[in-house]
């Protein structure tokens, strides 16, 4: 997928705060729409759980894509400057998403998870257990295989096992190896979950660099973030676990690839 920055612009008219509040209401409405759509498709479980999962995944992805890739930039809450590289990844895999991947991205804002789920097909995401307070997240964890991670070793073990199971089912897994949101253009240390998964399963790692012009729904940024923000999302070359000696080497390679983009703002 490639997005032309001239197509998705800044919007005009309403004040930024009003636009941001509108976004929260749009997200709430999208939340209800998604849950209603998922409930309507539940009878498909009697035929095929895999078919039901694909229907729910399609509904989730396209609901998020409509909001985050099209509506929010159009009304001017942020500008989506560029989305690039996803076609190249699937092109390297024969032009079709026939093989699943472990997507690892830097984490700068609350929007990162939504961007990734909007862009990556048939994906589950590893997220902090505290987000289980949200009804949609609780549903996705309980019925759709999303993976909640707390700070304990037991939780980490269960997250690893659930991620392995998702990969065996042919799904994509999205992980933010920094573990928490950081400042724009800075990269924290990487945890090893994604890279141990890659070594254990043989699934390739796809690094993703998310660029943010300024803090936007970042850790500690509050309810409303500053106006005039701009995002770029770059899917980088895949890393094959067979080309590395261990998980640490895969982690270092992913860190270097993302860091070159994030810190260099290329």
pTM over 0.75: yes
Per domain, the residue ranges of the chain are 79-264
Cβ count near 9 (within 10 Å): 12
Contact status, residue 172 vs residue 120, Cβ threshold 8 Å: yes
Contact status, residue 174 vs residue 123, Cβ threshold 8 Å: yes
Per-residue confidence (pLDDT) for residue 184, from 0 to 100: 63
Q: How far apart are the C-alpha atoms of 197 and 208, rounded to whole Å? A: 17
What would the 3-class secondary structure string for the chain be? CCECCCCCCCCCCCCHHHHHHHHHHHHHHHHHHHHHHHHHCHHHHHCCHHHHHHHHHHHHHHHHHHHHHHHHHHHCCCEEEEEECHHHHHHHCCCCCCCCCEEEECCCCCHHHHHHHHHCCCEEEEEEHHHHHCHHHHHHHHHCCCEEECCCHHHHHHHHHHHHHHHHCCCEEEECCCCCCCCCCCCCCCCCHHHHHHHHHCCCEEEEEEEECCCCCCCCCCCCCCCCCEEEEEECCCECHHHCCCHHHHHHHHHHHHHHHHHHCC
Per-residue confidence (pLDDT) for residue 178, from 0 to 100: 87
Per-residue confidence (pLDDT) for residue 220, from 0 to 100: 46
Q: How far apart are the C-alpha atoms of 195 and 163, rounded to whole Å? A: 12
Low-confidence ranges of the chain (pLDDT < 70): 1-17, 19-21, 23-24, 27, 42, 44-46, 91-98, 131-132, 181-185, 213-228, 265-266
Contact status, residue 35 vs residue 136, Cβ threshold 8 Å: yes
Per-residue confidence (pLDDT) for residue 79, from 0 to 100: 84
Per-residue confidence (pLDDT) for residue 199, from 0 to 100: 95
Per-residue confidence (pLDDT) for residue 266, from 0 to 100: 47
Encode pLDDT of 130-153 as tens digits: 766 777 777 777 777 788 887 778
């Amino acid at each position: 997928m490639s997005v032309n920055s001239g197509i998705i612009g800044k919007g005009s008219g309403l004040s930024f705060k009003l636009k941001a509040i509108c976004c929260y209401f749009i997200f709430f409405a999208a939340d209800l729409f998604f849950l209603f759509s998922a409930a309507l498709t539940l009878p498909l479980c009697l035929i095929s759980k895999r078919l039901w999962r694909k229907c729910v995944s399609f509904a989730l992805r396209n609901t998020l894509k409509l909001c985050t890739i099209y509506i929010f930039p159009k009304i001017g809450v942020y500008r989506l400057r560029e989305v690039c590289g996803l076609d190249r990844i699937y092109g390297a895999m024969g032009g079709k998403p026939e093989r699943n991947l472990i997507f690892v991205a830097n984490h700068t804002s609350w929007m990162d998870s939504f961007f990734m789920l909007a862009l990556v097909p048939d994906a589950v995401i590893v997220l902090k257990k505290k987000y289980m307070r949200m009804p949609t997240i609780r549903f996705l964890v309980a019925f759709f295989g999303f993976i909640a991670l707390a700070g304990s070793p037991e939780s980490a073990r269960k997250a690893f096992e659930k991620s392995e199971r998702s990969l065996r089912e042919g799904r994509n897994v999205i992980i933010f190896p920094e573990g928490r949101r950081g400042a724009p253009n800075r990269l924290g240390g990487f945890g090893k979950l994604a890279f141990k998964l890659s070594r254990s399963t043989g699934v390739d790692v796809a690094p993703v660099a998310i660029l943010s012009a300024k803090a936007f729904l970042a850790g500690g940024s509050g309810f409303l973030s500053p106006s005039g923000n701009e995002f770029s999302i770059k899917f980088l070359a895949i890393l094959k676990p067979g080309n590395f000696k261990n998980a640490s080497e895969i982690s270092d390679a992913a860190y270097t690839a993302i860091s070159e983009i994030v810190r260099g703002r290329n």
